[in-house]
Chains A and B, each alone.
Chain A
Amino acid sequence: DAEITQSPRHKITETGRQVTLACHQTWNHNNMFWYRQDLGHGLRLIHYSYGVQDTNKGEVSDGYSVSRSNTEDLPLTLESAASSQTSVYFCASSGGGGTQAFFGQGTRLTVV
């Protein structure tokens, strides 16, 4: 069965370190998204991609970057982790054109 998976599920890192969160989907979807989930803020879009080599900034993109070298993967990198980036991160994918979006299980990141 097709799926979307995130790794790791939990991560603790130190302030200033670079961290990469993985997202892998086997739906063959063109569209992939990264959100962060925070109490009182809901889900906020960080970055998104509509296809290979395409990346776009969302509403809270500062301090984050993504790259899309193939259809299946959209890794999210925190260049220099800050305590404000402690959050739960969700990856999602969709085929576009009215098809359903699917979410990963989430990654809980703690920056100490």
Chain B
Amino acid sequence: AQRVTQPEKLLSVFKGAPVELKCNYSYSGSPELFWYVQYSRQRLQLLLRHISRESIKGFTADLNKGETSFHLKKPFAQEEDSAMYYCALSVLTGFQKLVFGTGTRLLVSP
């Protein structure tokens, strides 16, 4: 069965501090991993996906198949990064079906 684990419910940091939101997955096939973000009172939106290997809003995530991880990182957190972050695994090609983790709330304080 596919499973996504986000061990931290809440991550609280100060502005300018580095951020790492952890995500581990279990899947027997070749995974596609994503990070979605939900700002207060807004809909979920895609932040980044491992295939594109790009940096969005200063965030990066590297897929580590050996450790089955897809941690989200940002070197210098900003207050506007405060949001709920969900790691997700696609069990078929692309976005056919997404399995989500339980989410991590990031709180960036001034």
Contact = CB atoms under 8 A, between A and B. Distances in A.
Interface string B94-109: 1111111111000000
B97 A90 contact: no
Contact of A103 (B9, B44, B51, B94): B44
A42 B94 contact: no
Nearest to B51: A98
Interface residues of A, number: 25
A103 B97 contact: no
Per DSSP, chain A at the interface is strand
A105 B43 CA distance: 5
A31 interface: yes
Contact of B100 (A35, A40, A99, A104): A35
B93 interface: yes
B102 A41 contact: yes
B102 A99 contact: no
A87 to B, nearest CB: 14
Contacts of A94: 94-96
Pairs of residues from A and B, 8 with the lowest C-beta to C-beta distance, nearest first? A98-B94, A42-B102, A94-B95, A43-B100, A101-B95, A103-B44, A103-B43, A42-B100
Interface of B: 6, 9, 42-46, 51, 86, 93-103
